[in-house]
Chains A and B, each alone.
Chain A
Amino acid sequence: MDMTLDSKKDTLMDYIMKNCLWQFNSRAWDRELQNENIIKKATQLLCHESPEKSTPADRCYWAEAKQLVDEWQCFPWLSKMTATDTKCMMGKLKNDLDSQLITNSLNEELNDPNY
Chain B
Amino acid sequence: MPYHEFECSKCIPERIKHAVDKTPAENLSDALPLGYLNTIPGTLSERGCAYCGAKHVIGTPMKDVIHLSHGPIGCTYDTWQTKRYISDNDNFQLKYTFASDMKEKHIVFGAEKVLKDNIIEAFKAFPHIKRMSIYQTCASALIGDDIKAVAQEVMEEMPDVDIFICNSPGFAGPSQSGGHHKINIAWVNDKVGQVEPKITSDYVINYVGEYNIQGDQEVMQDYFKRMGIQVLSTFTGNGSYDDLRAMHRAHLNVLECARSAEYICNELRKRYGIPRMDIDGCGFGPLASSLRKIGLFFGIEDRAEAIIEEETKRWKPELDWYAARLQGKKVCLWPGGSKLWHWAHVIHEEMGLEVVSVYTKFGHQGDMEKGISRCEAGALAIDDPNELEGLEAMYKLKPDLIITGKRPGEVAKKIRVPYLNAHAYHNGPYKGFEGWVRFARDIYNAVYSPIHKLAFVDISKDAISTDKNFVTRQMLSDKDIDPAVVNSKELHEYTGEFDSIKKLRNKEYPKFPQKGKLTAV
Contact = CB atoms under 8 A, between A and B. Distances in A.
Nearest to A60: B275
Contacts of B312: none
Interface stretch (B25-33, B96-104, B158-166): B25-33
A51 to B, nearest CB: 12
Contacts of B32: 105-107
Given A56-B251, A99-B29, A100-B28, A21 B266 contact: no
A88 B120 CA distance: 67
Nearest to A16: B373
B186 to A, nearest CB: 14
A3 interface: no
Q: Could you say which of A22, A56, A62, A108 has the most chain B C-beta atoms within 10 Å of its C-beta?
A: A56
A64 B369 CA distance: 20
Contacts of B441: none
Given A105-B28, A106-B28, A64 B373 contact: no
Nearest to A26: B366
A1 interface: no
Contacts of A75: none
Interface string A52-71: 01111111101110110011
A104 B29 contact: yes
Interface in A19-35: 19, 21-22, 24-26, 30
Given A24-B366, A105-B29, A109-B36, A19 B262 contact: no
Interface in B234-274: 251-252, 258, 262-263, 266-267, 273-274
A17 B520 contact: no
Q: Could you say which of B28, B263, B294, B373 has the most chain A C-beta atoms within 10 Å of its C-beta?
A: B373
A50 B273 CA distance: 23
Q: Could you say which of B29, B280, B286 has the most chain A C-beta atoms within 10 Å of its C-beta?
A: B29
Contact of A64 (B293, B366, B374): B293
Contact of A60 (B252, B262, B267): B252
B277 interface: yes
Given A54-B520, A57-B273, A60-B277, A19 B289 contact: yes
Interface residues of A, number: 34
Contacts, number: 94
A107 B366 contact: yes
Given A19-B345, A60-B297, A71 B277 contact: no
B276 interface: yes
B467 to A, nearest CB: 51
A18 B348 CA distance: 12
Interface in B292-316: 292-294, 296-297
A101 interface: yes
A115 B292 contact: no
Interface in B2-40: 27-29, 31-32, 34, 36
Contact of A56 (B36, B252, B266, B296): B252
B521 interface: yes
A37 to B, nearest CB: 11
Contacts of A67: 289, 292-293, 296
16 contacts: A18-B373, A21-B258, A21-B279, A21-B370, A24-B278, A25-B262, A30-B266, A54-B520, A56-B520, A59-B297, A60-B252, A60-B275, A105-B29, A106-B29, A107-B365, A109-B365
The 5 nearest A-B residue pairs measured at CB: A60-B275, A21-B278, A104-B29, A106-B32, A63-B296
